[in-house]
Structures are given as C-alpha cells and as structure tokens.
Amino acid sequence: MSAFVYILRCADGSYYVGSARGESLERRMGEHQAGTFAGYTSRRRPVTLVYAEQFLQITDAIAMERRIEGWSRAKKEALIRGDWDALTRLAKRPGSQ
C-alpha cells in the first residue's frame, strides 16, 4: 500500500506538513478543507495542497514528514518549487562548504 507526505499552505500563509495512507490523499485534503478534525488546519482554512510525494511504505512517508517539519520556511519553499539547488544550499550548515 502506498502513502503520501504532503504540504498545505494555510489561509494565514503558514505551512502544514502531513502524511496519508494509500489512495486517501484526496479524502485527506477534503477532511482538512472541511475542518473534520480539530487541529492546526481547522483554524486556518481554506488550505491549498502545494506539495505531495508518494512512498511505498507509510513508515517512509512519516519519516519524511518528520524531517520536513524540522525544516526552515525557506527550505520548505525550495522543496515546493522543486528548486534542488536552493534545497542543497539551505541544507548546509552556515559556514560549511
């Protein structure tokens, strides 16, 4: 069964990173839009899907979700744009070459 990691842009301009199992990405987006579950996105609707990546295992999607959650806004935006050069540059520690 496949899984997804996704990034939503919320109405306030913030980003939400989540994961979903199987073929349920569309259903999960509907739940976020409807405010089905109390939480971060329910108070920041409407939301827009700006990035999604499919994985074979839910454990891989969850690991990527946790990784992305720790990233800076600039790094998340580079991922959303598909700007691999900026993503690589932003991944380096300041002062390292």
Domain boundaries, the chain: 3-71
Series of mean pLDDT values for 10-residue runs along the chain (97 residues): 94 96 86 92 96 95 97 96 94 72
- Cβ(90)–Cβ(72) under 8 Å? yes
According to DSSP, the β-strands at 48-55 and 15-21 are: unpaired
Residue 93: predicted pLDDT: 74
**C-alpha of 2 from chain center:** 16
Residue 43: predicted pLDDT: 95
Tell the CATH topology of 3-71.
Answer: GIY-YIG endonuclease (3.40.1440)
Residue 92: predicted pLDDT: 83
Residue 96: predicted pLDDT: 60
Beta strands in the chain (DSSP E): 3-9, 15-21, 48-55
